[in-house]
Amino acid sequence: MRSIFILFITFLISSCINAQTNAGAGGLDTLAAYQKNPTIPPFSIQMPDSSWFSKVNLQDKKPTLILYFSPDCGHCQLETEEVISKMKDLSNLQIVMVTSRPFQDMVTFADRYKINRFPSIKIGTDPSRMITQFYAVKFTPFSALYDKKGQLVKVYEKGINMPELINLVK
């Protein structure tokens, strides 16, 4: 009986120590990279003209919205239309639209919405899927808003709350 008790206590202590080192559910190990490092990630996207745009190309002291989308996603299309319709309200925001879909799909999407008429919107494909992994994207559209210092302000995991976004970037 005593050996069973000692075995049980050993198992219990071992479980507690293991739970602490693995940071079980809700611990640090389960956090997405953006939650561990709430700054704009070092992304690099290929734009419709085949040039590359990255974090170093962002304007300093200006809020940034990283908007991850899929060209064939209906919600992403609606969100793009809504963002475009509110560009006057979002005039001081730089927007980086990113997809991991093939280059030509992104180009077709950019052409469809005439993204090039908005200098503050950069659109491109992320063939390395860095953005998808950094944010642990589960649904599209997914957006992350950063302040003018590059610090995370808000994440929209299932689409932007436009009135809130407009208020946050005023």
CA atoms within 13 A on the CB side of 49: 6
Give the pLDDT score at 18.
42
**Do 53 and 126 fall within a single domain?**
yes
Same domain, 129 and 60: yes
- Do residues 68 and 99 make contact, with C-beta atoms less than 8 angstroms apart? yes
Examine the domain organization and report whether 14 and 38 are in the same domain: no
121 contact partners, CB below 8 Å, separation of at least 6: 83, 94, 95, 96, 97, 115
Do 15 and 94 lie in one domain? The reply is no
Q: Which residues make Cβ contacts (< 8 Å) with residue 30, sequence separation at least 6?
A: 23, 24
Check whether residue 103 and residue 126 sit in a common domain.
yes
Same domain, 121 and 135: yes
Query: Given this model, what pLDDT does residue 1 score?
Result: 53
What pTM does this model have? 0.81
Average pLDDT by consecutive 10-residue portion of the chain (170 residues)?
46 43 52 88 97 96 97 97 96 96 98 97 96 94 96 94 94
- Shared-domain flag, residues 79 and 123: yes
The CA-based angle 136-138-139, given to 5 degrees, is 135
Is there a single domain that holds both residue 112 and residue 70? Answer: yes
Q: Give SS3 for 80.
A: helix
Q: How far apart are CA 139 and CA 129, in angstroms?
A: 14
Same domain, 76 and 130: yes
Separation between Cα atoms, residue 109 and residue 117, nearest integer Å: 14
One domain for residues 80 and 143: yes
Q: Rounded CA gap, 145 and 138, in Å?
A: 17
> What's the structural domain count of the chain?
2
What is the rounded CA–CA span in Å between residue 89 and residue 95?
13
Same domain for 151 and 94? yes
136: domain CATH number is: 3.40.30.10
Angstrom distances, CA of residue 53 to CA of 33, 48, 56, 59, 141: 21, 11, 8, 12, 20
d(CA 86, CA 106): 22
Q: Which residue segment(s) compose the domain that 25 sits in?
A: 1-30
User: Do 71 and 155 share a domain, yes or no?
Assistant: yes
Cα–Cα distance between 117 and 82 in angstroms, integer? 15
